A and B are shown apart, each in its own frame.
Chain A
Amino acid sequence: MTDTIHLKAQLQACRSKEDTFKTLVTLSKTLPRLSAEEKIEDNKVKGCESAVWLIIEENHGLHHFKADSDAKLMRGVLVAILSLVEGKTLADIQQMDLKAELAELNLSSYLTSSRTNGVLAILEKIQVPKQ
């Protein structure tokens, strides 16, 4: 997976919506795809117009994430989101202002409450996984 600092630099360098689009397409290629067995209803994040699956595993208190989507840009966004939270404790993750961090990455247009994407639902599932 692309390392976080590099990813941040890439996204922050985007000067236009088109740049962000192209960067997300590039990032999307770095997301390992889930298997058919993992893409089950239980792992689906509700509230996304594209299908999004998210699997959270806990190991010695650290949270590890796997995710996939049928839409490419969403896979790019997932790479960005997971790079922020991967390998952290739930307590750490809950302290983060993920919306602000994504906005810093030029991804604020993915944070609208519009029905066309479910990034807020993904963040919710990451920060409050038991729901």
Chain B
Amino acid sequence: MAFDPLLLRPLFPILAQSAYDHPLTYLDNAATTQKPLPVLDAIQDYYRHFNANVHRGAHFLSDRATNRFEQARDTVARFINAPEQSHVIWTKGATEAINVVAYGLEHILEKGDEILITSLEHHANLVPWQQLAFRTGARLRIVPLTSNGEWEPEFSHYFTDRTRIFAATQVSNAIGASTPLKTMIDLAKQQGAFTLVDGAQAVAHYPVDVQALGCDFYVFSGHKMYGPTGIGVLYGKNHALEILMPYQTGGEMVRHVSYQATEFNVLPYRLEAGTPHIEGVIGLAAACDFLNAQDRLALLAWEQSLANHVYTRLHKAGGIEIYSPEKNTTLVSLSVPNIHILDINAYLDSQGVAVRAGSHCAHPLMAQLGVAGTLRASFACYNTMEEANRFCDVLLDAIDLLNDE
């Protein structure tokens, strides 16, 4: 294997610690990744050298801060191949970005219109649409998985002339499966629907090209791609962003205000009310630079090889239900019949292995899988094969300890 994760480890000092006297094995990367030194340094550097509010004061520091802030927009635009930097809107994260769209499109919906999502959605890409449907009388429809976790071979009939919005995740956070996005987006577009892609679980792993995807909106969170928390992105095509009613109003997003009326600012500012999360923006750009400096496909191949290795070992061991695909995924989601995932999680934790046990903010998907939750090990570029094996070893020990004779 050409890629060596050990070369990246020095950039992530947080990983070099022990947890309860065991080496910390961090496999909860789908929840949030660790941050490399260049991201930490960029945030420090901002506060040490050019902290000022942006787009406001005309003074030395404010100019520097504003320049770096707008450069960051350019960096992120190029990171996802957006054609213009004004198509990149800063949000708190993927959740807020989806809410901006769900509120912003309310005025185009009529009773009987359809909002279409898939059964792989995180609550963040489900609840805002459900609530929008409640408010407008639109219908929320779901492209389902079959009982063995595959897409129905014939899903095109879910896309109808009433479909106004189609929103889908690129990669499932709960089980790691991908959606046939391009096909679905094309079907939605044939019906004239707006399309939104939830890229929260994709950006850290896959090079993203929003123009090739052809979606109207693409959203993601910085903290899942080695960037800081509290910052995320709403990308939109120009006409799609223009049609959004601002979800929040206030300073920064206006051009002129009187007591009688307000003239809104142009994009991207029109959708960014208030002082933005400047350090988050600076840190996110540093995370993009960090990823751009890597061989992205080599990282992806490595992460997938770790997940595939775990899949293969656990499949061979037997007695474990695995919900993730065997290949082309960077996480493994599983349960063990008759043993509670929280009990397994507690043992993993006692050995310094951090994973996630729960419903992964996807109650309907868990209901369809027939489980209350799963245990998920999710990989990032800095994880080693030793860590993947350690997870398997400790998991199998836990099963032994918890099995009722």
Report A's interface with B, CB cutoff 8 A: 16-18, 20-22, 25, 49-50, 70-74, 116-117
B41 contacts chain A at the CB level, 8 A cutoff: no
Report B's interface with A, CB cutoff 8 A: 20-21, 339-340, 342-343, 345-347, 349-351, 357-358, 373, 401-402
- B350 adjacent to A17 (CB under 8 Å): yes
- Tell me the minimal C-beta distance from B304 to chain A in angstroms: 29
- B20 adjacent to A116 (CB under 8 Å): no
- Residues of B near A16 (CB, < 8 A) are 20-21, 350
- Tell me the minimal C-beta distance from A108 to chain B in angstroms: 14
In the complex formed, the residue of B with least CB distance to A16 is: B20
Taking A18-B347, A72-B339 as given, write out 11 further A-B residue pairs in contact, using a Cβ cutoff of 8 Å, ordered by the A residue number. A16-B20, A18-B350, A21-B401, A49-B373, A50-B340, A71-B340, A72-B340, A73-B342, A73-B346, A74-B342, A116-B358
In the complex, what distance in Å separates the CA atom of A104 from the CA atom of B342? 23
- Tell me which of A17, A18, A22, A49 contacts B342 (CB under 8 A): A49
- Tell me the minimal C-beta distance from A84 to chain B in angstroms: 21
- Residues of B near A73 (CB, < 8 A) are 340, 342-343, 346
- Residues of A near B401 (CB, < 8 A) are 21-22, 25
- Tell me which of A21, A74, A116, A117 contacts B350 (CB under 8 A): A21
- A116 adjacent to B351 (CB under 8 Å): no
7 A-B pairs with the lowest CB-CB distances in the bound complex, closest first: A17-B350, A71-B340, A18-B350, A17-B20, A72-B343, A21-B350, A71-B342
In the complex formed, the residue of B with least CB distance to A116 is: B342
- Tell me which of A17, A49, A72 contacts B402 (CB under 8 A): A72
- B402 adjacent to A50 (CB under 8 Å): no
- Residues of A near B346 (CB, < 8 A) are 21, 73
In the complex, what distance in Å separates the CA atom of A71 from the CA atom of B340? 5
- Tell me the minimal C-beta distance from A104 to chain B in angstroms: 19
- A25 adjacent to B402 (CB under 8 Å): yes
- Residues of A near B373 (CB, < 8 A) are 49
- B20 adjacent to A49 (CB under 8 Å): no
In the complex, what distance in Å separates the CA atom of A50 from the CA atom of B340? 8
- Tell me which of A18, A20, A70 contacts B340 (CB under 8 A): A70
- Residues of B near A17 (CB, < 8 A) are 20, 349-350
In the complex, what distance in Å separates the CA atom of A86 from the CA atom of B346? 27
- Tell me the minimal C-beta distance from A6 to chain B in angstroms: 22
- Residues of B near A18 (CB, < 8 A) are 20, 347, 350-351
- A21 adjacent to B347 (CB under 8 Å): yes
- Tell me the minimal C-beta distance from B371 to chain A in angstroms: 12
Which of A16, A17, A20, A74 gathers most chain B CB within 10 Å? A17
